[in-house]
Chain A
Amino acid sequence: MGSSGAYSFRRLTLAHLHDNPPLFATGRRKSSSTAQPRPSITSATIGVGDPFIPYYHYRKPPSRPPSRPPSKPPSNRNSAALSRHNTVRSHQFAFAYDENIGRVKWEEYNRREGIEDVPEQPIVVRVPIWRRILKLLKILLPHVGLNVLLLSYIAMGATVFIWLEADHELEGRKAKVKHVFDIYSQIMNETIALTNNQSDQATIVSRMRPLLESLSRAHEYDDKFTDTNQLWTGEQDGMTTRWTFAAATLYALTVITSTGYDHVTPATDPGRIFTVFFGLIGIPLMFITAADIGKFLSEIVIRTYAKLLAMWKMIANLVELVRTHLFDTDVDSIDSMELKKSKKRNASSLDDEECEDEEDRLQLPIASYFTLIIGYCCVGSLLFNTFEKGPVWSFIHGVFFSFNTITTIGLGNIRVQQHYYLALAVSYVIIGLAVITASLDLCSSTLKRTFTKLHYFGRKIRGARRGFANMSDDIREAMRIIAALKKTRPSKDRITLEDLKRFLEVQEHLLRQPYVPYNVHLLRWIEDNVGPQMKNEFSLAEQYAQYMDDVSGGKTPMSPSRLSHKMSSSDPMLFF
């Protein structure tokens, strides 16, 4: 509560500081506008006095009853006196001062909190299971939501790609079929013409060979990865588009994982533009999801390794128990020397096992990650060989393709026909990317450490430290005040505790009694105006006595008798 009190006090101080400058700027303008010294004094004093009045009103809330204010000031003054008498360090002094202010101001807040504490307990007692379920859902929701978001993003991209590219691709292939038919008709026309004209062999060769060469070139790159029923025929009716939902989904996946198969490629401008924006949003989303799954897998691996260690220790304990039992049986035997030797050997073997465990802990993660990657590639190889069944596919080719896929190199192509195969491929790619991300992250950190050591191989690494990071807020506040006072009075050699006390006292005094400078300046001005006119020492002494009475009494308005006395004794200039 002390900290919150101090914080609120600083906020009030800051608010007051922010309110101050514009009002003073207004006063400054008024003083600069007039040339006479006396009105400038008056306007300056008014300008100085004005900003304190609103804070004074803010300080006293109207809800308080009038009987409380007389009781508050004595306690404040006593606490201030106690803090003044203490000879403590500057930061402790500031802390004590702020703490006192906080305590005085926020007593009601403490009471309110005390009241509010009571009804919370029944709520906790009533529904612990419900809250546990809520917490569990809150923990699971981001991860599941992230995966669902990724899959829906892929499906949305696939739909858009089908809409953009399917018709264009089909038209392209139909145009190609028409082109081939045109070549056929040209060949037949030339053949008929040659037969009719009965020309020689040289002419026929020179005219027929170019046509046949163009025909053979037209068949190259034809339907590289299409279905069996989509191979070359003369019919246009049975032709369907290559952009099926499976192909489009795979394309979307390769875009956002940056793998990049080219089994289908956007040929239209809108398709390419959409690919660019799809990748801009999808690639960070994909890598966030992969990192999330990677952390999950890393935790599983670590826990599994910990469980293996625990099992290993349990087995060791069991073996030790069995040996103890055997030794108890052997106690009956006469050979005590052999018994001692066997005990020593057992102890030494246990020590060796502990050393091996430590070495395994240090070395296992990197080796396990590499083994995991190779195993995952082999699993992928089995998967792809099962579904692809082509002349090119062998076990090595499957491993090669899997490695290219999960490292996002993407040097090959697959053809997806079944939805089951599509689901397996998508999940394989995502989990594989997570595995490779986790392992490469580990390798990258290890390599970075090694690189740093090698880079600074002949030198020492120097770390920078922040001097002000560890300081508390109170010390910062004190240093701020000290710096401000040093700038205000550069002639002083050093600022002592008394200066800080005086600064704080003056600040408190001004905050509590903002009307004093106004009154004091006005009174001095009136006296100054009356003073030189009086030549009698007795009347001067009487005037000073009246001034003393006014100040000591603390009353702002004068009594009518004194006012009449002053007016009767003053010069005719004042009347005018």
Chain B
Amino acid sequence: MGRRHRRSKVTRVVNLVKKIIAFFFSHIGLCALVVGYALLGAVIFKAVEGPHEAEIQELVKSAREKAVDVVWNATFRVNRLDSKQWKKTVLDEVKRFKTVCMLSIRKGYDGKEYGKQAQWTFTGAFLYSLTVITTIGYGNTAAKTYIGKTLTMLYAIIGIPLMLLFLTNIGDVMAKIFRFLYAQSIRLKFRLILWHKKRKAAKIRRANSLVSRLTRGHRVKADSSVDSFGLGAGADVEDLLTARVEMEQLEVRETAAAQLESMTVPISLVVFTMLGYLGVGTTIFKVWEGWTFLESFYFCFISLTTIGFGDKFPSTSVSNTDEAQEKLVITSIYLLFGMALLAMCFNLAQEEVQNKTRWIADKFRSKEDDDD
């Protein structure tokens, strides 16, 4: 009894572990895993890069104040206001300040005030993590320290395959849904054709019954083997006509089945879906950021194709207000879902292009055979 109880407990534990693992690698678990990984990256990068950013901002601020004071002293102390000497002093100081600015820019300065706006907040670091693992890579936020660069590489090595797995999985699911909807439309089309064929068959059956009734009347009047032979021939003619109509229906059904099996979605539909999604994103960012239509579309296209220049960027997302947090979440969802949708579109378009290429190759081959 003790042994059986132990085995039942062990079996129960093993089954529980199996269920947990299955859930964790299912669709919902995979989404949670990606989001959790991005949050982890946000925490790490904020801890590593935040102090460095504060240091750089302080340096530039002090340099600017120093430059302004030097220029003021030059203006105040020169009594006779020698134009040549004043220009020389001011230009020297401006050059010195520019040198400090250039060095700070290369170390990560971005022109924002210390304490008011900062790149490496939690939300900024989260968006940085997301852009790294999706390979979008906006350049406005980037790791500058030695530890930051190393951590970014390690983070990307683990995160990019995870992201590819996520996109492959979600892309497959969305492609199946898309194909299902397209298959439903094809079935509806062929159902209409079959209805038309059945109506034609009914008409033929009605005509056959009329002819058979007339011939039956004739049979009643005169009975002989010759008449039965002729009548048999007539009956076979009627059956043959009906059978042919039935064969036509079967051929239509086979054609429908073949098309459903091949299931290639046309490229125009795929492109239309992609442009529709870009249009939705364009509308959202136009309302939020006050950009023009072209600027919003440009940003959505650059983001979803993972080019990611960073010249246009939702700037209010990088702050600590609640509204900005909400916008950030929606932007992240838009990017993740959009990349999966784009993967689906490329997948379907690839299948269609492959089929057309094969068709062209077969055509050329048949032409070559004819020439030979």
Chain A residues near B (Cβ < 8 Å):
17, 20-21, 24-25, 27-28, 31, 37, 40-41, 44, 48, 120, 188, 191-192, 195, 201, 204-205, 208-209, 212-213, 215-216, 219-222, 224, 232, 254-255, 258-262, 265, 269, 272-273, 275-276, 279, 283-284, 390-392, 396-397, 399-400, 403-404, 407-413, 440, 443-444, 447-448, 451, 454-458, 466, 480-481, 483-485, 487-489, 502-503, 506-507, 510, 516-517, 520-521, 524, 527-528, 531-532, 544, 547-548, 551
Say yes or no: A400-B307 contact (C-beta < 8 A), given A457-B18, A516-B233, A520-B233: no
Give Cα A151–Cα B305 distance, bound, in whole angstroms: 20
Say yes or no: A216-B67 contact (C-beta < 8 A), given A283-B305, A524-B227: yes
A-B pairs with lowest CB-CB distance, top 4: A409-B137, A484-B246, A410-B137, A260-B307
B58 is an interface residue with CB less than 8 A from chain A: no
Say yes or no: A440-B101 contact (C-beta < 8 A), given A216-B64, A408-B306: no
Q: Inside 8 A of A413's CB, which chain B residues have their CB?
A: 139
Contact, CB under 8 Å: A254 / B233: no
Q: Inside 8 A of A527's CB, which chain B residues have their CB?
A: 222
Q: Inside 8 A of B76's CB, which chain A residues have their CB?
A: 201, 204
Contact, CB under 8 Å: B204 / A531: no
Contact, CB under 8 Å: B160 / A407: yes
Q: Inside 8 A of B164's CB, which chain A residues have their CB?
A: 440, 443-444, 447
Give Cα A220–Cα B242 distance, bound, in whole angstroms: 88
Chain A proximity mask over B19-58: 1 for CB below 8 Å, otherwise 0: 1011011100000000000000000000000000000000
Contact, CB under 8 Å: A219 / B94: yes
**Interface residue ranges of B132-146 to A (CB < 8 Å):** 132, 135-139, 142-143, 146
- A–B pairs, 8, beta carbons within 8 Å: A17-B248, A205-B72, A219-B101, A224-B102, A232-B95, A262-B139, A272-B295, A506-B239
B119 is an interface residue with CB less than 8 A from chain A: no
Q: Inside 8 A of B24's CB, which chain A residues have their CB?
A: 454
Chain B residues near A (Cβ < 8 Å):
15, 18-19, 21-22, 24-26, 64, 67-68, 71-72, 75-76, 81, 83, 86, 94-95, 97-98, 101-103, 105-106, 111, 131-132, 135-139, 142-143, 146, 149-150, 152-153, 156, 160-161, 164-165, 168-169, 200, 203-204, 207, 210-211, 214, 218, 221-222, 224, 226-227, 230, 233-234, 236-237, 239-248, 250-251, 261, 294-295, 297-298, 301-302, 305-311, 346, 349, 372
Say yes or no: A412-B200 contact (C-beta < 8 A), given A20-B241, A391-B106, A443-B161: no
Q: Inside 8 A of B305's CB, which chain A residues have their CB?
A: 258, 279, 283
Tell which of B68, B132, B309 touches A262, judged by Cβ atoms closer than 8 Å: B309
Chain B nearest CB, measured from A215 CB (Å): 7
Contact, CB under 8 Å: B26 / A455: yes
Tell which of B15, B241, B250, B302 touches A24, judged by Cβ atoms closer than 8 Å: B241
Say yes or no: A48-B139 contact (C-beta < 8 A), given A208-B72, A220-B111, A397-B149: no
Q: Inside 8 A of B261's CB, which chain A residues have their CB?
A: 466
Tell which of A44, A440, A488, A510 touches B242, judged by Cβ atoms closer than 8 Å: A488
Contact, CB under 8 Å: B234 / A485: no
Residue of chain A at shortest CB distance from B225: A548
Contact, CB under 8 Å: B105 / A273: no
Chain A nearest CB, measured from B149 CB (Å): 4
Give Cα A317–Cα B15 distance, bound, in whole angstroms: 51
Q: Inside 8 A of A454's CB, which chain B residues have their CB?
A: 21-22, 24-25
Q: Inside 8 A of A37's CB, which chain B residues have their CB?
A: 214
Give Cα A41–Cα B211 distance, bound, in whole angstroms: 7
Tell which of B81, B98, B245 touches A222, judged by Cβ atoms closer than 8 Å: B98
Give Cα A170–Cα B192 distance, bound, in whole angstroms: 64
Chain A nearest CB, measured from B268 CB (Å): 14
Tell which of A212, A262, A502 touches B71, judged by Cβ atoms closer than 8 Å: A212
Chain B nearest CB, measured from A411 CB (Å): 5
Q: Inside 8 A of A548's CB, which chain B residues have their CB?
A: 226
Contact, CB under 8 Å: A458 / B244: no
Tell which of B68, B86, B301 touches A213, judged by Cβ atoms closer than 8 Å: B68
Tell which of B103, B132, B136, B246 touches A487, judged by Cβ atoms closer than 8 Å: B246
Q: Inside 8 A of B294's CB, which chain A residues have their CB?
A: 269, 272-273
Q: Inside 8 A of B26's CB, which chain A residues have their CB?
A: 455
Contact, CB under 8 Å: A265 / B15: no
Tell which of A21, A188, A404 touches B137, judged by Cβ atoms closer than 8 Å: A404
Contact, CB under 8 Å: B97 / A265: no
Contact, CB under 8 Å: A447 / B161: yes
Contact, CB under 8 Å: B246 / A265: no
Q: Inside 8 A of B83's CB, which chain A residues have their CB?
A: 188
Chain A nearest CB, measured from B38 CB (Å): 15
Say yes or no: A489-B221 contact (C-beta < 8 A), given A409-B137, A480-B250: no
Chain B nearest CB, measured from A56 CB (Å): 15
Beyond A219-B98, A404-B137, A409-B131, 14 additional pairs, beta carbon < 8 A: A17-B248, A31-B210, A44-B211, A209-B72, A220-B111, A258-B307, A284-B349, A396-B146, A400-B152, A409-B132, A448-B165, A448-B168, A488-B243, A528-B222
Q: Inside 8 A of A520's CB, which chain B residues have their CB?
A: 230, 233-234
Give Cα A375–Cα B242 distance, bound, in whole angstroms: 74
Contact, CB under 8 Å: B105 / A221: yes
Say yes or no: A409-B233 contact (C-beta < 8 A), given A272-B294, A391-B106, A404-B137: no
Contact, CB under 8 Å: A192 / B81: yes
Q: Inside 8 A of B244's CB, which chain A residues have their CB?
A: 17, 20, 484
Chain B nearest CB, measured from A258 CB (Å): 4
Q: Inside 8 A of A21's CB, which chain B residues have their CB?
A: 200, 245, 248
Contact, CB under 8 Å: A483 / B250: yes
Chain B nearest CB, measured from A333 CB (Å): 59
Q: Inside 8 A of B224's CB, which chain A residues have their CB?
A: 544
Contact, CB under 8 Å: B214 / A392: no
Contact, CB under 8 Å: A208 / B75: yes
Q: Inside 8 A of A120's CB, which chain B residues have their CB?
A: 372
Residue of chain A at shortest CB distance from B248: A17
Contact, CB under 8 Å: B308 / A410: yes
Chain B nearest CB, measured from A206 CB (Å): 12
Q: Inside 8 A of B309's CB, which chain A residues have their CB?
A: 260-262, 265
Q: Inside 8 A of A219's CB, which chain B residues have their CB?
A: 94, 97-98, 101
Tell which of B81, B152, B207 touches A31, judged by Cβ atoms closer than 8 Å: B207
Give Cα A486–Cα B347 distance, bound, in whole angstroms: 44
Contact, CB under 8 Å: B18 / A458: yes
Give Cα A159–Cα B154 distance, bound, in whole angstroms: 38
Tell which of B200, B227, B308 touches A260, judged by Cβ atoms closer than 8 Å: B308
Residue of chain B at shortest CB distance from A263: B139
Q: Inside 8 A of A265's CB, which chain B residues have their CB?
A: 309, 311
Chain B nearest CB, measured from A508 CB (Å): 11
Give Cα A397–Cα B251 distance, bound, in whole angstroms: 66
Q: Inside 8 A of B243's CB, which chain A residues have their CB?
A: 481, 484-485, 487-488, 503
Say yes or no: A444-B161 contact (C-beta < 8 A), given A272-B294, A410-B139, A484-B246: yes
Q: Inside 8 A of B22's CB, which chain A residues have their CB?
A: 454-458
Chain A nearest CB, measured from B292 CB (Å): 8
Say yes or no: A412-B237 contact (C-beta < 8 A), given A260-B310, A407-B156: no
Q: Inside 8 A of A283's CB, which chain B residues have their CB?
A: 305
Chain A nearest CB, measured from B369 CB (Å): 12
Give Cα A527–Cα B165 distance, bound, in whole angstroms: 84
Say yes or no: A276-B150 contact (C-beta < 8 A), given A409-B137, A440-B160, A528-B222: no
Chain B nearest CB, measured from A542 CB (Å): 14
Give Cα A485–Cα B244 distance, bound, in whole angstroms: 9
Give Cα A176–Cα B346 distance, bound, in whole angstroms: 43
Chain A nearest CB, measured from B305 CB (Å): 5
Q: Inside 8 A of B131's CB, which chain A residues have their CB?
A: 409
Q: Inside 8 A of A192's CB, which chain B residues have their CB?
A: 81
Give Cα A192–Cα B15 distance, bound, in whole angstroms: 88
Which of A503, A507, A521 has most B Cβ within 10 Å? A521
Chain A nearest CB, measured from B110 CB (Å): 9
Give Cα A551–Cα B98 distance, bound, in whole angstroms: 117
Contact, CB under 8 Å: A483 / B246: yes
Contact, CB under 8 Å: B246 / A195: no
Contact, CB under 8 Å: A260 / B247: no
